[in-house]
A and B are shown apart, each in its own frame.
Chain A
Amino acid sequence: MAEQKDVVLMKGNEAIAHAAIRCGCDGYFGYPITPQSEVIETLAELKPWETTGMQVVQAESELASIYMVYGAAGAGKRAMTSSSSPGVALMQEGITYMAGAELPGVFVNVQRGGPGLGTIQPSQGDYFQATRGGGNGDYNVIVLAPASVQEMADFVDLAFELAFKYRNPAMILSDGVIGQMMEKVVLPPFKPRRTDEEVIAQCPWASTGKTKNRKRNVITSLELKPEEMEKRNLALQEKYKQIRENEVRYETQQCDDADYLIVAFGSAARIGEKAVEIAREEGLKVGLFRPITLWPFPTKEIAQMAKGKKGVLVAEINAGQMVQDVRLAINGAVPVEQFGRLGGIVPEPEEIVNALKTKLM
């Protein structure tokens, strides 16, 4: 087996697989779907069950995958899955169950065009599904949006850290561009999987086997008494408030002196970077605001940055989803427009510049 160098050229999907092994993931349970099958294929090739002991299971469906993650996460283990839009639609029930049972599962969505079976080409059409909670009830999952292969690698451990810190599911919302493109990446250093004792110590709430020194642990999202269920929900809402206050992440480029802002995430942000460059060459003062956490959304930060600007263009590869959150944040202070392509078509940087000019100037 070839030595794994620490700086390598690889696809975003492959980076997820390598990073999972390196961050001490205990189990990956997934199902093939384009454009992210390389995640499980890479894991299968690397055989981590022989090295770190990480389990890799090809499940019978996405439904089964998310529940295998539920089971392992409910037992305190670092468990994850990955899929693409239609598969993540199937997982919504499992995700709300994990949110209700407060489980630290991690899942990756490498988005493709929809709705329905859609296309296999990239899109950002699952922003609503990710941030509004595609399942039932009042809940949120932490959503990280990588814009590079490096971030695909870095966000796996980050997602687990956040998931365990808050006992909440966390997702990496990627897309077919980031998943399939190849870039240089510095892979994270190897972190050993936690021992059984460490798992039990870190997760005293988990179903690891009831020892004599404690009561039984029940992992459940069911509560039939309304007063108790209200308490549970209020506790969840308090948790989400904490996450909103402490875990917002974003990046800005040339925003301070800009007249116009482009707000974009993921691959649209990469294209947006180029759009900023083109605009600046034409003498237009444009900056890029890139949310990294889509939930919690950088509401205050965008509102602050937009003050005094002439206009904001939200560039996203869908019919208009994140633009809602941007509009809510800016609250009418500055004009907000949206530009996107659909059907799996990835826009060119010039299209974004033209849209900015047409809609805002």
Chain B
Amino acid sequence: MEAKDIMSPENVVYKKPTLLNDTNMHYCPGCSHGVVHKLVAEVIEEMGLEDKAVGVSPVGCAVFAYNYIDIDWQEAAHGRAPAIATGIKRCWPDRLVFTYQGDGDLACIGTCETIHALNRGENIVIIFVNNAIYGMTGGQMAPTTLIGQKTSTCPYGRDPEIHGYPLKMADIAAQLEGTCYVTRQSVESVASINKAKKALKKAFQASMDGKGSSLVEFVSTCNSGWKLSPVKANEWMKENMFPFYPKGDLKDTTGEK
């Protein structure tokens, strides 16, 4: 059988989601953002919510997320996405409203907005791409940078004496009464991507069902900032990030409400 005999439309088992448009994404080769974008697009498409979805994009590498996923978007000031999402969802309660944020946006300048939107139980989903570094601005230390990890503003390694400790935002979120679903996922393998997609779908559904706020953290790589190849970055992530930011559901009360 020739390859061209197999390549007919009814035989497609995987392709780029339609909601992810044809614009080439600006992310570095191998960046986790690309995979997370694909999942967001796939889940919105599968849930039939293209005409109801409003995303809020961050300041960070994903500032141009609005150029790639074909839904309505609002660009947020650094850290303020959860407040913007609150304004949208409160006034349009039947819309799917989510934020898409990195570790600086969500866990540094935006910590207050993150905690309070989650705590108020706003029916939104906060997507958190955590790669323990500030990618867009050139690789500085983030609030989630690991002890000993080297970045341009802690070139000798993060030292708690000088820099304090990394923040575990998902653990904080799981303590808040307003959250209904808090989970950590990753997107480096087929198995983890499939699990991550299910988690994202659960979170989106919970927000549409009015069950409260969700935080979906994607433990991710930044091969440029970490100065590793994409393949090696995945390995480094597995060895160093996963033990500190363990994957799985930290809270799930979606079944109870």
- A contact residues vs B (CB 8 Å cutoff): 26-27, 29, 55, 57, 59-61, 63-65, 67-75, 77, 79, 93-94, 97, 101, 196, 207-212, 216-222
Contacts and interface: CB of A to CB of B under 8 A. Distances in A.
Given A63-B80, A94-B77, A220-B66, A75 B88 contact: yes
A79 B88 CA distance: 10
A317 to B, nearest CB: 32
Contact of A220 (B75, B86, B112): B75
Interface string B72-93: 1111110010011111101110
B148 to A, nearest CB: 33
A77 B91 contact: yes
A219 B90 CA distance: 18
Nearest to A74: B74
B83 A217 contact: no
Contacts of A93: 77
Main secondary structure of the interface of A (DSSP, over half): mixed
A60 B51 contact: no
A94 B56 CA distance: 15
Contacts, number: 129
A201 to B, nearest CB: 15
Contact of A210 (B72, B75, B85, B116): B72
Nearest to B116: A60
B112 A212 contact: no
B164 to A, nearest CB: 22
A71 B86 contact: yes
A68 B72 contact: no
Given A59-B86, A79-B87, A219-B75, 16 more contacts: A26-B91, A57-B120, A63-B80, A71-B83, A74-B74, A75-B88, A75-B91, A77-B87, A97-B77, A209-B52, A209-B54, A216-B70, A216-B72, A217-B73, A218-B72, A220-B73
B112 A75 contact: no
A61 B88 CA distance: 17
Contacts of B70: 210, 216
A63 B80 CA distance: 8
Interface string B90-123: 1110010000000000000000110010001000
Interface string B17-48: 00000000000000000000000000000000
Among A94, A97, A219, chain B packs the most CB atoms within 10 A around the CB of A219
A101 B80 contact: no
A71 B88 CA distance: 5
8 contacts: A59-B86, A64-B80, A64-B112, A67-B76, A208-B92, A209-B95, A210-B51, A219-B73
